[in-house]
């Protein structure tokens, strides 16, 4: 009886270990505030760490950002981003690439119609014209394929002004109040309003948040780990962080991201290196 139990125990160990070691895992990363400071280029040490990890460990890596592809490339590598990341999801995955090959692209005007889109833009411009801020610059609305990006202060502000507005917004809730006004003005539109970064928020059809990208990886992996900083409700990482399809990791910046990846790697390596119980040798 004891011998039978021992045989079953060893068989269970071998089956479990094989199952764990054969798991297909991907780590998806937000960009701003996770891999880089907001709208800044990735630090060389973070970049090197990610590339070393992707070559030596048993998982793939990808990025999912709210910005368009050009901006993500500016931050993560203009010429070789597709060599570094197996998946690149711009605009929450509305523009998707795998191994450098484009998978698909969706547009907000096709989803909600040109008339509604113009009504949204007109209202946003009117609202911005009426609010008083310490300063305003240019590019208040940026049209992206899958969303509108709205910045009350203007995306042309300097880095110093960006930080000043961010602190001002924490106190005065400029973006939060703007979103509440939009919801009141357009109560019947199936839209999501998502605060991200330091100076802006995004408007896109419901379901076009970062969970949109999961349709391209869900069937290919046993575990999907997501790392992001804006994981609170209303933040642009919230939906994918809370998704039942992902294992969410809340980070405070690039250095914290590295530490959390190291922790994940150690957990995986400990599982692989423990070895079988002595009685199974």
Specify binding-site residues for Mg(2+): 30, 32, 229, 241, 246
Binding-site positions for alpha-D-mannose 1-phosphate read 39, 144, 155, 162, 200, 202
Residue 105: what are its φ and ψ, rounded to 5°? Answer: -155, 135
3-state secondary structure of 191: strand
- DSSP-assigned beta bridge partners for residue 50: none
Q: Is 169 a catalytic residue?
A: no
Residues 6+ apart with CB under 8 A from 185: 123
Helix 114-130 with 174-185: angle, nearest 10 deg: 140
Q: Check if the beta carbon of residue 9 is closer than 8 Å to that of residue 277.
A: yes
Q: Check if the beta carbon of residue 237 is closer than 8 Å to that of residue 229.
A: yes
Q: Check if the beta carbon of residue 246 is closer than 8 Å to that of residue 224.
A: yes
CA 87 – CA 260 distance, rounded (Å) = 20
Instruction: Considering the candidates 32, 68, 209, 237, report the single residue annotated as catalytic.
Output: 32
Q: Check if the beta carbon of residue 96 is closer than 8 Å to that of residue 103.
A: yes
> Running DSSP on this structure, what letter comes out for residue 47?
H
Q: Residue 208: name the closest of 111, 73, 99, 69 by CA.
A: 111
3-state secondary structure of 119: helix
Q: Is 222 a catalytic residue?
A: no
* Lookup: tokens for 90: 């711009």
Binding-site positions read 30, 32, 39, 144, 155, 162, 200, 202, 229, 241, 246
CA 152 – CA 201 distance, rounded (Å) = 9
Question: Which residues are catalytic, by number?
Answer: 30, 32
């Amino acid at each position: 009886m004891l011998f039978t139990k021992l045989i079953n125990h060893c068989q269970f160990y071998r089956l479990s270990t094989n199952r764990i070691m054969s798991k297909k895992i991907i780590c998806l990363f937000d960009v701003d505030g996770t891999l880089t400071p907001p709208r800044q280029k990735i630090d060389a040490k973070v970049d090197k760490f990610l590339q070393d990890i992707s070559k030596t460990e048993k998982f793939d890596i990808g990025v999912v950002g709210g910005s368009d592809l050009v901006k993500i490339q500016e931050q993560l590598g203009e010429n070789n981003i597709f060599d570094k990341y197996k998946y690149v999801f711009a605009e929450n995955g509305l523009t998707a690439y795998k191994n450098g090959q484009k998978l698909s692209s969706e547009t907000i005007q096709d989803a909600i119609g040109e008339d509604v889109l113009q009504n949204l833009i007109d209202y946003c411009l009117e609202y911005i014209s009426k609010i008083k801020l310490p300063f305003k610059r240019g590019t208040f609305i940026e049209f992206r394929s899958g969303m509108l990006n709205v910045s009350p202060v203007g995306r042309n502000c300097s880095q110093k002004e960006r930080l000043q507005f961010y602190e001002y917004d924490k106190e005065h809730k400029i973006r939060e109040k703007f979103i509440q006004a939009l919801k009141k003005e357009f109560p019947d539109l199936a839209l999501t309003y998502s605060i991200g970064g330091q100076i802006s928020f995004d408007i896109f059809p419901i379901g076009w948040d970062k969970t949109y990208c999961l349709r391209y990886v869900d069937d290919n992996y046993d575990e999907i780990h997501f790392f992001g900083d804006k994981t609170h409700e209303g933040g642009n990482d919230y939906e994918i962080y809370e998704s039942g399809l992902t294992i969410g990791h809340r980070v405070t910046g690039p250095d914290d991201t590295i530490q959390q990846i190291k922790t994940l790697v150690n957990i995986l390596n400990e599982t692989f290196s423990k070895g079988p119980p002595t009685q199974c040798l």
